[in-house]
Amino acid sequence: MSLIILGIETSCDETAAAIYSQQHGALSNELFSQVDLHKEYGGVVPEIASRSHIEKINFIVEKALKKAGKVLEDIDVVAVTHRPGLPGSLLIGVCFAKGLAWAQQKKIIGINHLEGHVFSSFLDNKPPFPHICLTASGGHTAMYLVKGFGDYQLIGQTLDDAAGEAFDKIAKLLDLPYPGGPVIEKLAREENFQDYFHYPRSTADSLDFSFSGLKTAVLYDLVKKGAYELKAKKQSSLLTEKLKREVASSLLVAIKDIFIKKIKLALTQNPDIKAVTFVGGVACNKFIKNAFAEFCKEHNLNFFSPAPQFCTDNAAMIALVGNYKAKHNLFSDYSLDIF
Ligand code: KG4
Ligand code: ZN
């Protein structure tokens, strides 16, 4: 029997639902992005996020069903992100999924959001095992050794800020809008990705990441240039558009270098690796993606990065993991909670 899975994702600031068919893959992938609601605060406000999830979830699930040409009765399994994430946001998805599964007498599976990202590259590709997966988003930055579906191991992670968080926080320093990643990439392109200021790259021989030092380096460099007033915590008139572009460009090159260095080290420690995958919101970055593709080509490795709609938070990746868990009878019950 070919199962139909409804995926639900509400771990942060996207209300998402998708329908996944065991036979045909993702049939729909719908979401409501709250970016505009959080923009004026320069980051996600948890209370606003959970309220918005309540308002949108019904509509988004209906939209996903309609787009896939399915009705609730066609669904066999409800797969829902139950950790990690903002507690108030996760609760909306989990309670909604439990209610729906109970009312319709469907099976339910709780999915780890990060496992969703790790296997998101299978939504539009078939990366061989074993491979290294670099997950970089606003909330997480981690490297995994992936040996099979459900068989993966954390080999490195950020000790402080996530890579996306670094883009977002530095964008705020530069008085640029949230989320910072896309706008920093745009400004960096206008400077031809030149490395003007050579911000520090970690020299540690470890697979762990650290991005908070990068933020501090940018901050003090701006202060030194007179472009940021530390006491008043605000930009001065010396923060010109040209300087913004130069900082953005140097930052992007620094983050690319850090990623490549960590992947290189991971490959030396795991010589049987067949491919590298790059997932999460930061994987929308074409400059970093191209650098990875080039690096992998030079090292005779396959490289995979999902289409942008599968890089940022989405429910299709949650439904995909739900699919292989269902195949192995790894169901949850109604005691499913958010931790
Ligand atoms: O995966 P995602 O949608 O949400 C989380 O799980 O956090 O990732 C959002 C993050 C934000 O920090 C955003 O700045 C970053 O992904 N991002 C990018 C780009 N597009 C989104 N970072 C760098 N370059 C981009 N083009
Ligand atoms: Zn995510």
pLDDT higher than 90, residue 11: yes
**pLDDT tens digits, 214-231:** 999 999 999 999 999 999
Q: Is the CB of 167 under 6 A from ligand 1?
A: yes
Say whether 254 sits in a helix, a strand or coil.
helix
Q: Identify the pLDDT of residue 42.
A: 77
Q: Which domain holds residue 67?
A: 4-119+312-327
- Which pLDDT band holds residue 142 (cuts at 50, 70, 90)? very high
- Which pLDDT band holds residue 60 (cuts at 50, 70, 90)? very high
Q: Identify the pLDDT of residue 1.
A: 73
Q: Identify the pLDDT of residue 339.
A: 80
Burial of 41 (0-12, 13-18, 19+ CB in 10 A): exposed
Q: Identify the pLDDT of residue 39.
A: 86
Q: Identify the pLDDT of residue 43.
A: 81
**pLDDT tens digits, 265-281:** 999 999 999 999 999 99
Q: Is the CB of 188 under 6 A from ligand 1?
A: no
Give one DSSP letter per residue of 35-66, joined into a string. HHHHGGGTS--HHHHHHHHHHHHHHHHHHHHH
Say whether 241 sits in a helix, a strand or coil.
helix
- Is 339 part of any domain? no
pLDDT higher than 80, residue 89: yes
Q: How many domains does the chain have?
A: 2
- Is 69 part of any domain? yes
**Whether residue 177 is found in the same domain as residue 219:** yes
**Whether residue 52 is found in the same domain as residue 95:** yes
**pLDDT tens digits, 286-308:** 999 999 999 999 999 999 999 99
**Whether residue 321 is found in the same domain as residue 288:** no
**Whether residue 283 is found in the same domain as residue 321:** no
Give one DSSP letter per residue of 175-230, joined into a string. T-PSSHHHHHHHHHHHTTT--SS-------SSS-B--HHHHHHHHHHHHHTTSEET
Q: Is the CB of 301 under 6 A from ligand 1?
A: no
| Mean pLDDT value across residues 146-166 | 96
| Mean pLDDT value across residues 23-48 | 93
Q: Is the CB of 177 under 6 A from ligand 1?
A: no
CA dist 23 and 121 (Å) reads 17
Closest CA to 326 of 134, 42, 108: 108
Q: How far is ligand 1, taken at its centre, from the CA of residue 30, in Å?
A: 18
CATH number for the domain harbouring residue 29: 3.30.420.40
| Mean pLDDT value across residues 98-106 | 96
Q: Identify the pLDDT of residue 203.
A: 75
Mean of the per-residue pLDDT values of the chain:
96
pLDDT higher than 80, residue 31: yes
| Mean pLDDT value across residues 188-211 | 94
Q: Identify the pLDDT of residue 202.
A: 78
Q: Identify the pLDDT of residue 204.
A: 80
- Is 85 part of any domain? yes
Taking residue 210's Cβ as centre, other Cβ atoms within 10 Å add up to 16
pTM of the model: 0.95
CA dist 284 and 16 (Å) reads 18
pLDDT higher than 90, residue 103: yes
- Please report, rounded to a whole number, the percentage of residues in the chain having pLDDT higher than 90: 95
Q: 130: Cβ–Cβ under 8 A, 6 or more apart, which residues?
A: 145, 146, 147, 270, 272, 273, 274
Testing ligand 1's pocket by substitution, the residue of 33, 123, 167, 292 carrying the most ligand atoms inside 8 A of its CB is: 167
CA dist 71 and 252 (Å) reads 44
Single-letter code of the amino acid located at 120: S
**Whether residue 143 is found in the same domain as residue 285:** yes
Q: Which residue is it, tokens 């030396």?
A: 268
Q: How far is ligand 1, taken at its centre, from the CA of residue 282, in Å?
A: 4
**Whether residue 27 is found in the same domain as residue 68:** yes
Instruction: Give, as residue ranges, everything with CB less than 5 Å from ion ligand 2.
Output: 137, 313
- Is 206 part of any domain? yes
What's the angle, vertex CA 119, arms to CA 2 and CA 94, rounded to 5? Answer: 75
- Is 74 part of any domain? yes
Q: Identify the pLDDT of residue 275.
A: 98
CA of 256, nearest ligand number: 1
